[in-house]
Chains A and B, each alone.
Chain A
């Protein structure tokens, strides 16, 4: 014996010869991977699977032994034991290749097919194990150096035939081999003892653990090993997987085979320990077709994908109905594969970083993924950030806003359709806060529409999270109009300059024009060309500076430098969230839900039913006729703020709703929150209980109700 190394099987050292499969070495050592059952050399019998180097369900008949491998028994019909320590996982590389046609299977029919069309072949015996055929079609193959994804126009499945595995009492004993495996074992010098070859389905195998005799017909033959040569069956797992795809099946895999005689008893599905009696029981319960029988008995749902049972399921049904039913559908994967192998070539979504990302990191900000972007949550002191906005001046990165330029003869008509407001009344240089509704009248997004000084041209901003969806929405709804949309979300930076001294700071950087609320203008700030928009989300005087994203860094720094003595401080999203909450401004997606009509959100003042046939109009008219069932309202309490999502209860113990936003208001010295509260007898109650404390419903906004501060 050419010993070229050792692996261990359940701790026992097993020597192997160079190039030998694990199964060959195990059988030479008198071991059986699963303790019994007919073994094959094609990777189809489930009886040879074991855990190899931490990977479960590995076919030992397909795996070349390597020195130091750790092999552990994994009884079939049972789940593998999860490792107590997470194994180290390395990414698996993938190679994408493109062909017109790929042939699967290197046998006679495969070679003939490949030769006639000049197509490449993938074959398990040549290091290419097909994991599955996916829509595309795409053929996923495992090789020694990683995964290969074949992107093709057409697949030819030429996987030939498989040896029929026996179903009868005793088919779970050791010492049962297919002819091909027996040949391989004898070539490797494995002593099988007294062998007998059976060509007719046996009545039973006898023995304790290992086979000692086989009964065929009336004859009982004593032996140490049985070579089971009882016929073949189409190897059609990949063909069944490719049903409906551009997949041709040729050769033995394509033959509609006559099923074997229906066995009277025995284990028909070793993977799930289903016996012939189990099939009969399922049939009695009314599961009388192939797909139902499979689901009821579990036969065919195991690791071998029906390699053993599918011909017998056919004969079982044919015996009872007289018809030959097609085999059940197969789904990927056709072979065990690790999550790393399945994940090969897949990428998680990349989260965009604003043009100020590096600036925030350098300033020590805690960055988080919010609304689909990396954004600064807190720089260092959220209270100081809040104070700077309320009492001095602050800057915030709002480059994540969705941003669109709209132009064309039908630009106004397009916007009229998309938003429930009369866009024709937005004058040049003016802007308006808008909602976008879906056809059900629910709020999809909110933002601003700005009309340029001249021509049919607009600028539209939307929420950070909604921009990607909004582009699909607006293009879909305006495809019939003569309008051009340009999504400039990723191309433009935006900085919000906010606080009572915001105008003073901008004046120092060359922007001195008085700009009233909801006006906008193109102007230079610190020599950077900006669109300056006067609005307010924080409740203080605010200017959004929209600018080319390549210049964000210098604009940000210029604002910090020029405002140092004013106390300018950047604010993160935590501070911004408190500031806007004090003003009662909603965040779509946080405070709104999937069924939020403007009326439920108390934003019905933004819906102008005289503004034409906007999306959602009919739904709004319909739902306006219904009694109001719930509302987003402002609540305040004297205790600490509840967690966002806290449940609100009525005084009689009934469910009232839940909190969507909550914060401690330093300015007002109490907790403020937004919450969905159900109407009781047509009215939203004045008080509810949240986290055991009474909170009062109040009119919004909490802070500066007349908007004096924002107007400056």
Chain B
């Protein structure tokens, strides 16, 4: 693992597909990180399970994501070198980074970048070629 990566970890997550209104009003535990993938789909990091926000909701414990934690400086450098969209100033954003679909949560202390586990090795390689 390249030295600039603070952490690479499999992340416990729950993915929910539900009616958009139900997702708008649903409340999640305070320590969960919410990523609103689409109006009718949400990914909750650091959770093992969740209550269905409506009767037809699909609640799926999802082990298919890998999280990379970067310093704000490295996060900004990664975007400059490998993304054609500006990073969110704070909070969630998603799009291509180094040609791989990625989700990002920008925080004041650290940037979390989440990619599908099936692409995590490729992502780590490409991240390394941009940051070193």
Contacts and interface: CB of A to CB of B under 8 A. Distances in A.
Question: Do A and B share a complex?
Answer: yes
Interface of A: 91, 93-98, 138, 149, 151, 345-355, 357, 405, 407-409, 455-457, 482, 484-486, 488, 490-492, 548-551
Contacts of B99: 346-350
A350 B10 contact: no
Given A138-B84, A353-B118, A484-B18, 12 more contacts: A91-B129, A93-B81, A97-B80, A345-B82, A405-B60, A407-B57, A484-B57, A485-B17, A490-B116, A491-B62, A491-B63, A549-B118
Interface string B49-82: 0000000111011111100000000000001111
A98 B83 CA distance: 11
Interface of B: 10, 15, 17-19, 40-41, 56-58, 60-65, 79-86, 96, 98-100, 116-119, 121-123, 126, 129
30 contacts: A95-B81, A98-B86, A345-B84, A347-B82, A347-B98, A347-B100, A350-B122, A350-B123, A350-B126, A357-B121, A405-B17, A407-B17, A408-B56, A455-B56, A484-B56, A485-B17, A486-B15, A490-B118, A491-B63, A491-B65, A491-B116, A492-B64, A548-B61, A548-B63, A548-B64, A549-B63, A549-B64, A550-B10, A550-B117, A551-B63
Nearest to A148: B80
A347 B122 CA distance: 11
A170 B123 CA distance: 59
A9 B84 CA distance: 40
B43 to A, nearest CB: 10
Contact of A352 (B40, B58, B119): B119
A91 B128 CA distance: 14
A355 B118 contact: yes
Contacts of A409: 56
Contact of B81 (A94, A351, A355): A94
Main secondary structure of the interface of B (DSSP, over half): mixed
Contacts of A345: 82, 84
A551 B62 CA distance: 11
- A93, A345, A484, A548: which has the most chain B beta carbons within 10 Å? A484
Given A149-B84, A350-B100, A352-B118, A550 B56 contact: no
Contact of B56 (A349, A350, A407): A407
B84 to A, nearest CB: 6
Given A95-B81, A98-B86, A550 B41 contact: no
Given A405-B58, A407-B58, A486 B17 contact: yes
B64 A491 contact: yes
Contacts of A96: 79-84
In the A-B complex, list the 4 residue pairs whose CB atoms are closest, starting with the nearest: A347-B99, A491-B64, A550-B63, A352-B118
Nearest to A146: B81
Contacts of A548: 61-64
| Most A-side CB within 10 Å, residue of B18, B56, B62 | B56
B17 A347 contact: no
B86 to A, nearest CB: 5
A137 B86 CA distance: 15
Contacts of A357: 121
Nearest to A552: B63
Nearest to A136: B84
A550 B66 CA distance: 11
Contacts of A482: 56
Contacts of A551: 63
Given A94-B81, A95-B80, A96-B80, A486 B60 contact: yes
Nearest to A346: B99
Greatest chain A CB density within 10 A among B41, B83, B84 is at B84
A120 to B, nearest CB: 15
A349 B118 CA distance: 13
Contacts of B84: 96, 138, 149, 151, 345
A249 B9 CA distance: 51
Contacts of B64: 488, 490-492, 548-550
A492 B63 CA distance: 8
A490 B83 contact: no
A346 B121 CA distance: 18
A457 B58 CA distance: 9
A118 to B, nearest CB: 18
Contacts of B129: 91
A19 B15 CA distance: 59
A468 to B, nearest CB: 11
Contacts of B80: 95-97
Contacts of B18: 484
B9 to A, nearest CB: 11
A492 B62 CA distance: 8
A345 B40 CA distance: 32
A2 B129 CA distance: 41
A590 B129 CA distance: 36
A96 B98 CA distance: 12
A97 B18 CA distance: 37
A93 B82 CA distance: 9
Nearest to A347: B99
A488 B60 contact: yes
Nearest to B18: A484
Contacts of A94: 81
Contacts of B96: 347
Contacts of A457: 58
Contacts of A353: 118-119, 121
Nearest to B97: A347
A490 B123 CA distance: 15
A156 B119 CA distance: 40
Most chain A C-beta atoms within 10 Å of own C-beta, residue among B57, B62, B83, B118:
B118
Contact of A486 (B58, B63, B79, B117): B58
Nearest to B84: A96
Contacts of B100: 347, 350
Contacts of A408: 56
A98 B84 CA distance: 9
Contact of A355 (B15, B60, B62, B117): B117
A551 B61 CA distance: 13
B17 A484 contact: yes
A455 B58 CA distance: 12
B126 to A, nearest CB: 7
A656 to B, nearest CB: 42
B54 to A, nearest CB: 9
A457 B60 CA distance: 13
B58 A350 contact: no
A94 B79 CA distance: 11
Nearest to A94: B81
Contacts of B82: 96, 345, 347
A626 to B, nearest CB: 42
A358 B57 CA distance: 34
A95 B122 CA distance: 21
Contacts of A347: 82, 96, 98-100, 126
B116 A484 contact: no
A352 B122 CA distance: 8
Contacts of B86: 98, 151
B64 to A, nearest CB: 3
A537 B57 CA distance: 32
Contacts of A151: 84-86
Given A347-B126, A484-B18, A550-B63, A354 B118 contact: yes
